[in-house]
């Protein structure tokens, strides 16, 4: 589960894990290590501490050998924020290799309102740049992804659709990617959530 700050990653991860458990799946939910680290240290990390945080996040995923693993963020987000905040792109290679281990990458859309959350929030102004860097990093790494939109239960429903096989949404994504020669959904203005959401919804309606 990837996405800029305050886009509902944790809430959606929890809801998705519970929904899959209700369907009989054994699910391991890996929380965001950065949150634990900030709470323990009482501050945000320095540039030289980013790699350790990324590695701890990766190790928490790798310790689960069986069942379904849902990661509430991965080293990819640490790499993106290192790039955004510290102009350090050195974590991308490690993050990309780790991201390749997942069967599905979901990116949370920017359609939720920004909400303050202690030390972990840099402000609403960073969401679009971070979203753009994330999509670029995934595309460079060759990692296909699906963007999840919606309010409340609709967001969970859309995430389950993304995991559960072909739907109008996935048909539209596949056709759009084929037409554009890309492996994942991209809008003409890839960091403009409102533009993408309108276009995406319109294409789904046409597919139905």
Residues 6+ apart with CB under 8 A from 115: 6, 121
Residues 6+ apart with CB under 8 A from 134: 2, 3, 4, 76, 77, 80, 107
Does residue 151 fall inside a structural domain?
A: yes
CATH of the domain at 132: 3.40.50
Does residue 4 fall inside a structural domain?
A: no
Domain count for the chain: 1
Q: What's the mean pLDDT in 28-54? A: 94
| Residue 180 pLDDT exceeds 50 | no
Instruction: List the domain range (segments joined by +) for residue 110.
Output: 9-207
Does residue 94 fall inside a structural domain?
A: yes
The mean pLDDT of the chain is 82
Does residue 126 fall inside a structural domain?
A: yes
C-alpha to C-alpha distance for 117 and 124, rounded to whole angstroms: 12
- φ, ψ of residue 109 to 5 degrees: the values are -70, 170
C-alpha to C-alpha distance for 75 and 58, rounded to whole angstroms: 6
Does residue 1 fall inside a structural domain?
A: no
- What is the band of 171 on the pLDDT scale with cuts at 50, 70, 90? very low
| Residue 169 pLDDT exceeds 60 | no
Does residue 147 fall inside a structural domain?
A: yes
Pairing of the two strands 146-148 and 106-108: parallel
| Residue 38 pLDDT exceeds 60 | yes
| Residue 183 pLDDT exceeds 90 | no
Enumerate the β-bridge partners of residue 2.
107
Highest mean pLDDT: which of 42-51, 60-69, 109-118?
42-51
| Residue 165 pLDDT exceeds 90 | no
Which tokens belong to 72?
């509430």
Residue of 159 and 165 predicted with greater confidence: 159
8-state DSSP, 100 = T
Does residue 51 fall inside a structural domain?
A: yes
Does residue 2 fall inside a structural domain?
A: no
- What is the band of 65 on the pLDDT scale with cuts at 50, 70, 90? confident
């Amino acid at each position: 589960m990837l996405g800029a700050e305050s886009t509902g990653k944790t809430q959606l991860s929890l809801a998705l894990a519970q929904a899959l458990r209700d369907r009989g799946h054994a699910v391991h939910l890996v929380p965001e290590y950065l949150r634990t680290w900030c709470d323990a240290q009482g501050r945000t990390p320095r540039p030289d501490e980013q790699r350790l945080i990324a590695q701890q996040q990766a190790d928490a995923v790798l310790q689960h050998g069986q069942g379904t693993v849902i990661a509430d963020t991965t080293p990819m987000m640490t790499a993106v924020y290192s790039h955004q905040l510290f102009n350090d792109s050195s974590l991308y290679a490690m993050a990309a290799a780790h991201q390749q281990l997942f069967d599905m990458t979901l990116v949370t859309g920017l359609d939720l309102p920004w909400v303050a959350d202690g030390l972990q929030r840099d402000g609403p102004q960073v969401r679009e740049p971070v979203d753009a860097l994330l999509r670029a990093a995934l595309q460079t790494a060759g990692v296909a992804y699906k963007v999840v939109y919606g309010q409340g239960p609709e967001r969970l429903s859309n995430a389950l659709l993304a995991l559960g096989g072909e739907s109008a949404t996935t048909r539209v994504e596949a056709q759009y990617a084929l037409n554009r020669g890309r492996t994942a959904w991209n809008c003409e203005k890839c960091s403009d959530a409102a533009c993408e959401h309108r276009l995406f919804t319109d294409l789904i309606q046409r597919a139905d």
